[in-house]
Amino acid sequence: MNKLSLAIAFALGSATLAGCATPTESTNSSNTTTAVVAVAQTESERANALFEAMFMENIMASPEYQTYLGIKTDYDKWDDLSLAADEEELARKKRHLAQLASIDEAKLEGQAQISYTLMKQKLENDIADDKWRYYSYPVTQMYGYQSGTPSFLINQHSINSVDDAKAYISRLQGVELRFEQAIAQLQKREEIGVMAPKFTFDYVLNDSRNVISGAPFAAGEDSPVWADFKGKVAKLNISEADKAQLLADAKAALLNQFKNGYDNFIAFIDAQSQRASTKDGAWKLPQGDQYYANRLQRTTTTDLSAKQIHQLGLDEVARIHGEMRDIMKQVGFSGDLQQFFEFMRTDKQFYLNSDEEGRNAYLGQATAIIDDMEGRLDEVFNLKPQARLKVQRVEEFREKSAGKAFYQQPAPDGSRPGIYYANLYDMNDMPTYQMEALAFHEGIPGHHMQIAISQELQGIPKFRRFGGYTAYIEGWGLYSEYLPKEMGYYSDPYSDFGRLAMELWRACRLVVDTGIHDKQWTREQAIDYLAKSTPNAHGDVVKAIERYIVMPSQATAYKVGMLKILELRANAKQQLGNDFSLPKFHDAILANGPVPLDMLEQQVNNYIGSVKL
């Protein structure tokens, strides 16, 4: 069975594809014949079958995504990163759009109608956006092949059998080709004038060298991947001789193809760094203004311009500063806002020690916050996730360059929990007064709750359950920082200041993202604005600005999404009065998975209409 046939079978189970028939046995008095009887399907059933087949065709083209979903068909392979694969992906999208035209939209009902609208919009946008195919930065301090490769092996490739271990070894052997393709991607971008800013290269080189430091590459502690493989193989219930053979094969792969791949990559990145410029914004790219306008539209799922988003940020910063001054008065602080910021940055009462005891204390306290919130979910939610959540420290090999905190979704089969990663490299970047808001955002009721619920939804195609819109996802994350205040959390005014500080951070993002990419602010200008406008540590500020530089528009999603959710909630309350139900409002937000903000508004309006009936 080929990959596409397997994909369709996986997606559809016993369902039939649109226009197909199933053979059945028919008997008459004279003989036995095989008759083909068409299975009647509604247009919505035909559409759902097509959506699933499209989704699974995409999945079966991505061995890495298969691993995320617990499918082991191509467990020994990496994604094809070649330029030819990019063309194949575009052709597949065009073919899917043509297939979608076979569906009669007027006959669709309920979720099928929503799915059709989303699928068509996504395919049309992706095809239109192909002109920007090579405008991304595949390698930065935030992400890239250099850190993504070991992170994937360590966090996603489980070893429950000898075959799993051999597949892991095959992936180690495939790293040399993987980096050859990665280099070709970077060369293609450089040819058209797209290259990450100069400051990113030292981070990338440092991460790359960390991966091939230590045993078996040199004396010292085990390297991250070698330690991971050894630990996983040690748990297998096989003979010591078989374990020894697996370790020998993995070691050979690490010392040869794996190291060769990294050595070649490091040499290329080192050379490219000499050609990189210090220009930071998207404006530096060919047609950069058009590219950034497109990114804002896709990220926010609105038509807001860079100018409008910039002003929205300035307005929100002014409002939040006012609320912070109220807290200054509440705690009896004498001085202005800047002095209060300095106090919050430097007073030792707000920071745990930068040692193992301090780091473990942070993880323990963050876990306790999430556990407490989980016990109170029934107060404000009907829908709740089944998947577990774990709070975990960012691995040491990537913590120096990784973000402050982030979330990794659970495996759909329950074999891997959702993970809230806290970056504890520098404890001065993780003040305790922000602990509550950060845990709510990344964990519960934030990303874990929304993403796990989405994955677990029934009656919705997989492309929606596992897809996403940044404004919706991050808007929910930021809304999830605010909601607990209404439930009585942030009782400590300093913790409430931390909540405001994190909201302020996202408001400032609207200003600095548009400043960098539209108004041509330098990295230093953006750092200066963020440092003066927020109480965050300088290291936190520098990391943030460097993130916004390499991910144009992404940072604008949070506040735009949150404000839309709050606007929709206020409208629902105003129209429904005493009939308004917060759990049912949250159902309207969560029960259909991630959607663009205009469709989210339609869903809330449907909720309002259903209550008014």
- Residue 141: which of 425, 561, 512 has the closest Cα? 425
Tell me the C-alpha distance between 605 and 612, whole Å. 11
Are 238 and 304 part of one and the same domain? no
Residue 403 is predicted with a pLDDT of 77
Confidence check: pLDDT of 29 > 70: no
Asked if 547 contacts 403 with a C-beta cutoff of 8 angstroms, the reply is yes
- Residue 209: which of 259, 255, 173, 175 has the closest Cα? 259
Are 411 and 442 part of one and the same domain? yes
The mean pLDDT of the chain is 92
- Residue 53: which of 111, 7, 101, 106 has the closest Cα? 7
pLDDT mean over 246-275: 98
More confident: 70 or 3:
70
Exposure string over 300-334, b if 16+ CB within 10 A, otherwise e? bbbebebeebbebbeebbeebeeebeeebeeeeee
Confidence check: pLDDT of 25 > 70: no
Q: Which of 254, 278, 302 is the endpoint of a domain?
A: 278
Tell me the C-alpha distance between 601 and 606, whole Å. 9
Contacts of 56-65 with C-beta under 8 Å, sequence gap 24+, read 56/7, 56/8, 56/10, 56/11, 56/462, 57/4, 57/7, 57/8, 57/92, 57/96, 58/92, 58/463, 59/7, 60/3, 60/4, 60/6, 60/7, 61/3, 61/88, 61/89, 61/92, 64/152, 64/156
What are 585-608's pLDDT values in tens digits? 999 999 999 999 999 999 999 999
Are 123 and 266 part of one and the same domain? no
Residue 335 is predicted with a pLDDT of 94
Does residue 603 belong to any structural domain of this protein?
A: no
Q: What is the largest CA-CA distance in the chain?
A: 102
pLDDT mean over 227-244: 98
Confidence check: pLDDT of 20 > 80: no
More confident: 26 or 284:
284
Are 356 and 488 part of one and the same domain? yes
Q: Which of 109, 132, 155 is the endpoint of a domain?
A: 132
Does residue 573 belong to any structural domain of this protein?
A: no
Q: What is the DSSP code string of 213-269?
A: -SBTTSSSSBPHHHHHHHHHHHTS-S-HHHHHHHHHHHHHHIIIIIHHHHHHHHHHH
Q: How confident is residue 13, by pLDDT bands cut at 50, 70 and 90?
A: very low
- Residue 269: which of 444, 145, 352 has the closest Cα? 145
Does residue 406 belong to any structural domain of this protein?
A: yes
Q: How confident is residue 39, by pLDDT bands cut at 50, 70 and 90?
A: low
Does residue 140 belong to any structural domain of this protein?
A: no
Residue 156 is predicted with a pLDDT of 93
Helix (H, G, I), strand (E, B) or coil at 382: coil
pLDDT mean over 520-549: 94
Confidence check: pLDDT of 457 > 70: yes
Asked if 548 contacts 516 with a C-beta cutoff of 8 angstroms, the reply is yes
pLDDT mean over 371-399: 93
Are 210 and 149 part of one and the same domain? yes
Are 77 and 193 part of one and the same domain? no
Are 41 and 158 part of one and the same domain? no
Confidence check: pLDDT of 384 > 50: yes
Tell me the C-alpha distance between 497 and 493, whole Å. 6
Helix (H, G, I), strand (E, B) or coil at 590: helix
When divided into structural domains, the chain yields a total of: 3
Which of 412-421, 546-555, 589-598 has the lowest average pLDDT?
412-421
Q: How confident is residue 288, by pLDDT bands cut at 50, 70 and 90?
A: very high
23 forms bridges with which residues in the sheet? Answer: 36
Confidence check: pLDDT of 312 > 60: yes
What are 150-206's pLDDT values in tens digits? 999 999 999 999 999 999 999 999 999 999 999 999 999 999 999 999 999 999 999
Are 258 and 379 part of one and the same domain? no
pLDDT mean over 356-382: 96
Are 257 and 299 part of one and the same domain? no
Half-sphere exposure of 40 (CA within 13 A, CB side): 0
Cα of first residue to Cα of last residue in the chain, in angstroms, is 52
Look up residue 374 and give its two tokens: 């989980």
Does residue 592 belong to any structural domain of this protein?
A: no
Confidence check: pLDDT of 222 > 70: yes
User: What's the pTM?
Assistant: 0.86
CB proximity list for 475: less than 8 A, separation 6 or greater: 557, 558, 560, 561, 562, 563, 564, 565, 597
Which of 31-40, 62-71, 159-168, 299-308 has the lowest average pLDDT?
31-40
Does residue 9 belong to any structural domain of this protein?
A: yes
Are 81 and 213 part of one and the same domain? no
SS (H, E, C) 409-478: CCCCCCCCCEEEEECCCCHHHCCHHHHHHHHHHHCCCCHHHHHHHHHHCCCCCHHHHCCCCHHHHHHHHH
- Residue 443: which of 490, 484, 494, 395 has the closest Cα? 484
Are 379 and 437 part of one and the same domain? yes
pLDDT mean over 127-143: 95
Domain span holding position 224: 145-278
pLDDT mean over 231-249: 98
Q: How confident is residue 41, by pLDDT bands cut at 50, 70 and 90?
A: confident
Tell me the C-alpha distance between 186 and 194, whole Å. 9
Give percent of the chain above pLDDT 90.
87
H or E element at residue 576: helix 557-576
Does residue 522 belong to any structural domain of this protein?
A: yes
SS (H, E, C) 66-104: HHHCCCCCCCCCCCCCCHHHHHHHHHHHHHHHHHHCCCC
Are 255 and 354 part of one and the same domain? no
Does residue 449 belong to any structural domain of this protein?
A: yes
Which of 18-22, 76-80, 507-511 has the lowest average pLDDT?
18-22
